[in-house]
Amino acid sequence: MRFVVMAGRHYNAAPMADDCTTVVVQNYLDQLADVSGETPAEPIVRQLLGESVNRLQHLCTTLLYRSYPRLTHPPLNLEPHELLGAVVERMIKALRSVRPPNVRQFFALANQHMRWELNDLARRLDNQVRAQQVHESQVPAPASTASQLSPNGHRILQAIDSLPEDEREVFSLVRIQGLTQSEVAEMIGVSPKTVQRRLNRSLILLAEKLGDLLPAPKQTS
């Protein structure tokens, strides 16, 4: 049995089959939904987060390295376990008032807080870099450097955020966080064919919005 330390707390992180994780998480969500009056919710919340820590760790690691790799380099040197600790703290606060009714919405909430945390860190890094450039009277670096997203990078993020909710969720889980279509289907409670259909739809919509960024087709002689 091993334990993961998150924000000064120990959470049981013993390996657990994915389907078992889903059942256990749903059980705690049901308990949380029944909390009322003077019954404290925080013990249930901590047990819920402890049982889902392996999947949260996987989501944090994939999202960080695939979508925010610059945050893993100096000066931040962000590690997945540090992101996980911050997300757990966010979730503890969020779950004081939010009651996700099912596993899909629980992990969607966690994913949202992961992105908010990473976006906050990215903005702080950009502000730090700009302040350093002003202090040293240097010419600002081009927008395409590792310290900032390029204009096209912002366009891509905005296009993803503008997708319909179902398509955005599937695109994020499959293409950004690296889950398989079967894993996503089990997580959000739909068939693998539905996941594939939503993913294909998201790719079509993104191609319509970002078609000018696609490489020009090679001309055959």
What would you report as the CA-atom Rg of the chain, rounded to the nearest whole angstrom?
A: 20
Q: How many Å apart are CA 205 and CA 207, to the nearest integer?
A: 5
Residue-wise pLDDT for 153-185, tens only, equals 778 888 888 899 899 889 888 887 777 888 888
Ordered by start, the domain boundaries in the chain are: 1-102
Alpha-carbon torsion (95, 98, 100, 105), positive or negative: negative
Note whether 171 and 196 are within 8 A (CB): no
Q: Which residues pair with 12 in a beta bridge?
A: 3
Q: Cβ distance 198 to 170 under 8 Å?
A: yes
> Please, which pLDDT band fits residue 129 given cuts at 50, 70 and 90?
low
Sort 164 into a burial class: Cβ within 10 Å, 0-12 / 13-18 / 19+.
exposed
Higher pLDDT, 39 or 72: 72
Is 57 a residue whose pLDDT tops 50? yes
**73 CA to centre of own chain:** 19
Average pLDDT, the chain: 79
Of the chain, the percentage scoring pLDDT greater than 90 comes to: 32
Query: Among candidates 128, 129, 125, which has minimal Cα distance to 142?
Result: 129
Q: Rounded mean pLDDT of 82-95?
A: 94
Model confidence over 5-14: pLDDT tens digits? 334 443 444 3
